[in-house]
Amino acid sequence: MTIEVDLAAPLRIADLRAAREPITVLAGPEVRERVTAGRAFLAKVLGDDRAVYGATTGFGALVGYAGRADQRDQADNTLAHLGAGHGPDLDPGLARATMLLRAHSLARGASGVSPHVVDALAAALGTTFAPAMPRLGSVGASGDLIPLGAAAQALRGRGNAYVYGDRLPAAEALDRAGLAPLPLDGRDALALVNGTSLTTAATALALDRIRTSHRIIQLLTCVLADLLGCDPQFLDASLLDSYGHAGAIAVGATMRAFLAGATPSGTRPLQEPYSIRCTPQLLGAAEDALRYVDGVVAADLASVSDNPLFFAGADKVVHGGNFFGQPAAFAADVLTMVLAQLGNLAERQLDLLVDPVRNGGLPPMLAAGPGRQHGLQGVQLASTALIAEIRRDAMPASIQSLPTNLHNQDIIPLGTQAALRALDQSHLLSLITGSLALGLRQAVHVGARIPSATTCARLVAALSDAIPAIDPDRPLQADVRRAAQVAESHVATA
C-alpha cells in the first residue's frame, strides 16, 4: 500500500524513510491557499518595485548587481553557476527524502513560490524519480545550494536523475517516469535551492538509524550479561536514581525489563568490567544526547529554510538567514560522537566475549575447534577496523568554518558534511552491532548457557534460527549483516 504524506501536517522521520519508494504527497486546499497567497504577494511586491533578493538581484556576493530582467532567464541565472558539485551521487533514497522536505518547506507559503512547483515535487515523489545530486559542494550556509541546484536542474530535465534505480539523462528520466520538465522563474529556482533540506534529511535519517542501534546495544548488553551469568545489580533502580541523569534512569529501566527473569551464575567477579558495569551510564548519556538531537530534528522538519521570506498579512518581505544550518550541524556532530562511543562499547564487548580469560572459559575466538577453526577471529578484526574508521572521522565538522563567497559567507556551519558523515557512519555502526550479535549466537554453540531472561533467550533463539553455527569456518560477511537485521527486527518488538 502506498504511503500518504499530507503537506499540511507535521512531517515525520517515518515519512522520510517512506520516501525511498513512491509515495502519495497530498497538497490539499489549505496548502494551495497559502502557497497561492504567497505567490500573489510576491507579484504585488515586485509590482511595487521593491528589492527582492534573487528576483531582482544577483546572487550571494553579487547581490549588489541587478539580475536578469526576464524571470525565466533569472532561473538559469540562479542555477547555472551552481553546477559545480563533485564526488559520487547521493543515495537516491536520500535525494527523495530531500525533495519531500523541500516540498514541505515550500508548502508553508512563506517562500513566494509558484503552486506548480509544489505540485511537481509531489508528482515526482509519486514515481521512482530521484535527482542525481553530488555529494560534495555544500557548506550548508546558504542552504545546500549545489546539491539542491542539481535537484532543481534535474526537475527541469537537465543533468541526470534516477528512475527505477537506473541513472539516466534527466530529460529521459522525466519522460520514463511520466513527468514533464518543471518551468521555473527566478524566485522558484532560488526557493528550491536556498534551504537546508538535504542537511535536515540526512540528520533525521542518521538519528533514526542511531536510535535503533542504541536500543539494539541495550539488548545485546543484556544478552551478554545473561550468557555470562553476570549479577544485574549494575542496573539497580536505586543506584541509577542516585546518579540523577534522566537518560541513565530511562536506559536502566529498559535494560531491567530486557533482563527480567535473569539468574546470576554466582561464578562471576563481584564487579564486571566497565563494558558491562557502566553501560547504563554510557548508554544513558547517549540517550540524553539523542534527546537533544530529537528536538533539533523536530524543529528542522517544521522549519521554513529559505531567504527571503514573504509575510503577506504584515506586508513584509524579510531578508535573513533561515538557510543557515547551524542547529543541524551541531546535532549531526553530536550524533557522530554518540555513534563512536556506541561502536567503542560494542567492539569492546565483542573483545570480552571472544577472550577465554574474561568470557567464563569459552574457547578463544569462540572457535568450535581452536586452531583447526577460528570462529570470530576475522569478524573481530573487521570490527576493530570499523571502529577505527568511525573514530578517525569523528572530528566535528561544525567548528571548521572558513570564509567563502567574497566574505559574504564569512562564517559557515558545514552541517551538510556533518550530517552526511553521521548517516554514513550509522551504517558502519550497524555492522559492529551485527558482529556482536553474531558472537552471542556463536557463544551458545560453543558452551555458553542459554539466557535465563525471556527477552534475551528469544533473541538468541531468533539468531540461531536465522544463522547456522560457525562450525566449520566460513566467510561471515553476510552473517554479520543478517545478525544485524535479526537484532533490529527483534528489538522493535522487545
Cα dihedral 170, 17, 414, 61 sign: positive
- Out of 53, 162, 274, 292, the active site residue is 53
Cell numbers standing for residue 4: 500518504
For 66, phi then psi, to 5°, come to -70, 145
Closest CA to 416 of 90, 3, 73, 21: 90
Cell numbers standing for residue 59: 546572487
What is the distance between the alpha carbons of residues 85 and 93, in angstroms, rounded to a whole number? 19
Which DSSP symbol is given to 409? B
Annotated active-site residue 65? The verdict is: no
Cell numbers standing for residue 166: 537506473
**Which residues share a beta bridge with 166?**
163
Cell numbers standing for residue 311: 509575510
Cα dihedral 95, 98, 103, 104 sign: positive
Q: Which amino acid is at 140?
A: G
Closest CA to 306 of 28, 97, 103: 103
Residues in the chain: 494
CB atoms within 10 A of CB 46: 17
End-to-end CA distance of the chain: 26
For 31, phi then psi, to 5°, come to -65, -45
Cell numbers standing for residue 160: 541526470
**Which residues share a beta bridge with 25?**
5
What is the distance between the alpha carbons of residues 182 and 174, in angstroms, rounded to a whole number? 10
| Rounded alpha-carbon distances, angstroms, from residue 358 to 69, 303, 355, 446, 460 | 75, 50, 6, 15, 20
Please list, in sequence order, all residues whose beta carbon lies within 8 angstroms of the beta carbon of residue 31, skipping any fewer than 6 positions away: 7, 8, 107, 109, 118
Cell numbers standing for residue 452: 535465563
Residue 275: HSE in the Cβ half-sphere, 13 Å Cα cutoff? 19
The residues carrying an active-site annotation are 53
